[in-house]
Structure 1
Amino acid sequence: MKRPLKISSAVALTAGLVALAGCGGQETTATAQGGSSFGECEVTENPPTHKLSTIKEGVLTVAASLPFPAGYRGNTLESVDGGYMYCLDAEIANRAGLKKINLVNASFEALVTAKSSNFDFAVWDIYDTPERRKVVDFSTPYNTYGTGVLVKTGSSLAASTIKDATVGVLAGSVQLKYVQETLKPKDFRVFSSNDDLFNAVLAGQIDAALNDTATVMPRAANSGGKLQVVGAYPVGGDVAALFPKGSANVQVVDQILADMKKDGTLDAIMDKWLNPILGGDPGKLPDWAA
């Protein structure tokens, strides 16, 4: 299994954020204070800049499916001030010479099926797949993930028994396809948000949740001992920024990401924001197979 690049973290985005599935959505604007910072994100001073063609002049409009505890830190949409995805957005905006970010809330399914397009790009750890590329475009990857198996602490679920269990997955996810076509458990349920998915595990409505390791590991680590990740499937791959089909910004963001990888900025974001909240090394999770 590939080990992830180094990324970021955060506390939880909680109530007050509604996932919207249409072209509209909640949005808020974060301003670079003094031209040098976006919330708690530290951006590079005087970096090489690249021109982005944004839907709002002088503003980078970024879509995400919120709440997302690790990626976008804040108690409300308006209070987001950190997290590894948000700080990645901030650095891209900074290197495009932009001083503001508009956050637009859209459901994950709306993003990957192109039902939502009122944004410059979306950063939400979205897998780049051939099927999705039929309707949207992707940047080069900024990280690589597998799929973790999240259960209630003390569960006896194992790789050998999961086919007899009830499994939960997120709508539109690669895990949904894996469950339908390969794992084929006794029963599975599909959820529209991570919160609904993980709450179903806690409530005993499902036996396990399959989701990205970078999503389930922080959730388990911050569950007060109620949840644990017991294994990982080699399902997933590269995650990248998602763009409306035909966007002129793909190559520009690719160049910015290349610069960030070369000068160590991408690793620094992950080291500060993601790695501390994982609660362990994803590469050391037991390998499971269907």
Structure 2
Amino acid sequence: MKSTKPSRTLLVALALSAAGVASAQANDISGCVLTGQKGSVSLQPVNPGEITVETALPNPAWWNGDTVDQIKDGFEFCLAANIAHRAGLDKVKVISSSFPALIANQNKQKDLSMATISITDERKKVLDFSVPYFSSDIGVLVKKGVKVDQETIRTFRIGVLQGTTGASFVSDHIKPAEIRVYPENPGMYAALIAGQIDAAVNDTSIILGQASKSNGTLEVAGQYSTGESYGAIYPKASPNKEGMNRIIDEMAKDGTLAKLASTYLAEAWGADPTKVPYLKP
């Protein structure tokens, strides 16, 4: 007898179709403070009428919302919103990816990627970065009360995020007892809370946000000075590189970037990153 249940192929097709409809909805940028002259810079967005930006979620304070449809503000989202505004556009479309996939830069249906991505000489060999828009060092996230110093950290099991500069720094400079690599931040944080690792190492600007959400369970015990800066990744041969760089430079000069930092980062972190003690590798 012939089954009346939908075929696996049909279910997959329906799921993909539904996902496509959901992702077509552009995010509202009205929650962001928009500065500068609207339409002052001409861009050629990959999707007419909107800026399409790829990111990796969750990333609180930078992207406020755990899913694409929930994003309403945050430092990087509002940076993208201001790029759209100064290009004369009213919409930002957010697409989500894993961090390793994002830095592989294979998605051509975007105008830029932003996910607290550190600009490095190695990455610059294969990726086309924007001008920098934020500076950050590398921090150590532990359970509250755990002592961290130059010697004890070498005995730790340390979790790192795959493909990040934090992962390279741990293996090249800290050289702990054990390194565990995670594809996404939530899995790494869960491992830390469960006691499967002793510390999680990532950008100070990222783990301060996680510590502030932990209800006192986690804290940033120290950081390493690396002189890193964040930048957006452009698709290869993007016609918008010059225009977007101009907008980011103007936002730095007119105080917009500083305003975004004070609005979305300071409160979310619950701590001044300059007050986190520095460690020697």
Q: What TM-score do the two structures reach when normalised by structure 1?
A: 0.85
Structure 2: gaps of 5 or more residues: 1-19
| Aligned equivalents of 1:77, 1:204: Cα separation in 2 | 30
Q: Kindly report the root-mean-square deviation, in angstroms, between the aligned alpha carbons of the 2 structures.
A: 1.8
Give the letter aligned to residue 255 of structure 1: R
Q: How do residues 1-290 of structure 1 correspond to structure 2 at under 5 angstroms? A: 27-30=23-26, 38-44=29-35, 46-47=37-38, 49-235=40-226, 237-290=228-281
SS in 1 for 2:151: coil
2:51 touches 2:91 (CA, 8 Å); kept in 1?
Answer: yes
Residue 3 (structure 1) aligns with: none
Report 1 or 2 for greater relative contact order, CA contacts < 8 Å, sequence distance ≥ 6.
1
| Aligned equivalents of 2:24, 2:54: Cα separation in 1 | 11
SS in 1 for 2:179: strand
Kindly state the Cα deviation for residue 56 of structure 1 after the two structures are TM-superposed.
Answer: 0.8
1:231 touches 1:286 (CA, 8 Å); kept in 2?
Answer: yes
Q: Which has the higher helix share?
A: 2
SS in 2 for 1:101: strand
Report the number of matched residues: 261
The runs of at least 4 consecutive aligned structure 1 residues that moved more than 2 Å come to 26-32, 44-48, 113-118, 156-159
Give the letter aligned to residue 116 of structure 2: D
How high is the sequence identity, in percent, across the aligned residues? 37
SS in 2 for 1:159: coil
SS in 1 for 2:116: strand
Kindly state the Cα deviation for residue 28 of structure 1 after the two structures are TM-superposed.
Answer: 4.9
State the Cα deviation string for residues 129-171 of structure 1 (Å, max 9, x = none).
1221222211110010001100011213332211111001100
Give the letter aligned to residue 80 of structure 2: D
1:72 touches 1:84 (CA, 8 Å); kept in 2?
Answer: yes
Kindly state the Cα deviation for residue 228 of structure 1 after the two structures are TM-superposed.
Answer: 0.5
SS in 2 for 1:195: helix
State the Cα deviation string for residues 78-131 of structure 1 (Å, max 9, x = none).
121111111111011101111111111111111222233431101111011122
Kindly state the Cα deviation for residue 234 of structure 1 after the two structures are TM-superposed.
Answer: 1.3
| Aligned equivalents of 1:95, 1:250: Cα separation in 2 | 14
State the Cα deviation string for residues 58-91 of structure 1 (Å, max 9, x = none).
1111000012122111253212111111111101
Kindly state the Cα deviation for residue 225 of structure 1 after the two structures are TM-superposed.
Answer: 0.6
1:147 touches 1:236 (CA, 8 Å); kept in 2?
Answer: no
2:160 touches 2:167 (CA, 8 Å); kept in 1?
Answer: yes
Q: What TM-score do the two structures reach when normalised by structure 2?
A: 0.88
Q: Which has the higher strand share?
A: 1
State the Cα deviation string for residues 253-277 of structure 1 (Å, max 9, x = none).
1100111122211211111111111
Structure 1: gaps of 5 or more residues: 1-23, 33-37
| Aligned equivalents of 2:24, 2:277: Cα separation in 1 | 40
1:149 touches 1:230 (CA, 8 Å); kept in 2?
Answer: yes
Give the letter aligned to residue 160 of structure 2: V
Kindly state the Cα deviation for residue 45 of structure 1 after the two structures are TM-superposed.
Answer: 6.2
SS in 2 for 1:157: coil
Give the letter aligned to residue 30 of structure 1: A
Cα pair distance change 1:195/1:282, threshold 3 Å: same
